[in-house]
Amino acid sequence: MGEASNVARWRVLFSGRVQHVGFRYTAYYLARGLYLTGWVDNLPDGRVVLEAQGSPLRLQRLVAQLRSQPHIRVDRAEIEKLDPVPWERRFEVRGYDR
């Protein structure tokens, strides 16, 4: 299975109607369903930042699925490729304690 050996990590900055619409928890459930690790958090400027790790195909699927949610409007998704974090084992929602 070549997909599993091809691990990438993306930081994605989402702009649009992405806060106060359940974006972080939607990202959490979608990422877990795709067996991705990483995290998602709100930014003070109204954007959402997500770091996810897994196969490039699954990362593409995550971004596409987030774009297609009826309650979310993604105007822009800026992708930055990062080095994988080998010890990361789960996907989490950050910032809910603010």
DSSP label of 87: T
Structural domains in the chain?
Answer: 2-92 (3.30.70.100)
Spell out the SS3 assignment of the chain. CHHHHCCEEEEEEEEEECCCCCHHHHHHHHHHHCCCEEEEEECCCCCEEEEEEECHHHHHHHHHHHHCCCCCEEEEEEEEEECCCCCCCCEEECCCCC
Quick check: 4 pLDDT over 70? no
| Residues 36-67 pLDDT 10s | 999 999 999 999 999 999 999 999 999 999 99
| Residues 9-40 pLDDT 10s | 999 999 999 999 999 999 999 999 999 999 99
Per the residue annotation, which of 6, 11, 32, 42 is the catalytic one?
42
Predicted TM-score (pTM) of this structure: 0.90
User: Does residue 6 carry a catalytic annotation?
Assistant: no
Per the residue annotation, which of 11, 17, 24, 67 is the catalytic one?
24
